[in-house]
Every structure is written in C-alpha cells, then in structure tokens.
Amino acid sequence: MHCRAMHGPGAVPCDDCAALLEYAMDRIEACRFADSKPTCARCTVHCYRPTMREQIRAVMRYSGPRMISSHPYLAVRHLLDRHKTPVTD
C-alpha cells in the first residue's frame, strides 16, 4: 500500500520494500513473545535494527489510518494487539 503510493509506478513491492518486508517477517517469526506479542511500537524488546525500525515507522504512519477502510479486520486486530502484555514463559 505504502509502496504503491510512495514508490510507484513500477514493480510493487520495489526492491527496498521487498527487503523490508522480508526483514519484518523474519523478525516476527523470531519474536520471543509469539501469541502474546503486542504491536511493535509497544514491545519491550527492540528487535529491529534502528534503520529498519525507522523505515517500518514511515510505512506504518502511511498505512495505519488507511488500513481502517481497506483492511478493517487487520486494523482491528492491530488495535487489540496493542493491549496485550508481552510475557515470556
């Protein structure tokens, strides 16, 4: 969504966004909180590299408000996740 608006026209996702997406998926996979994972903004463990973190924030700033209309289910899930408390056991 972000890529199409900001980096298009052209291949979507572009190389940068594809790499960022892959990195994010990797991090989520490796997240030690699994099901109790809060949204990354509230997480106690900052597993993203600082540069990647900035890029993700830029994407979220753009996509967050727009997700309500285009992906309401995901947006609601994201809001609910915000209230989770990260626990490891």
In Å, the largest CA–CA distance within the chain is 46
Token pair for residue 62?
A: 């753009």
- Residues written for the chain: 89
Nearest approach, Cβ of residue 60 and Zn ion (Å) = 14
Residue in this structure with the two tokens 């915000």, named with its chain if needed? 82
Beta carbon nearer to Zn ion, 57 or 82: 57
Beta carbon nearer to Zn ion, 6 or 80: 6
Backbone conformation region of residue 80, classed left if phi is above 0, alpha if psi is from -120 to 50, else beta: alpha
Nearest approach, Cβ of residue 4 and Zn ion (Å) = 8
Q: Report the interface residues with Zn ion, using CB under 5 A.
A: 3, 7, 14, 17
Beta carbon nearer to Zn ion, 3 or 40: 3
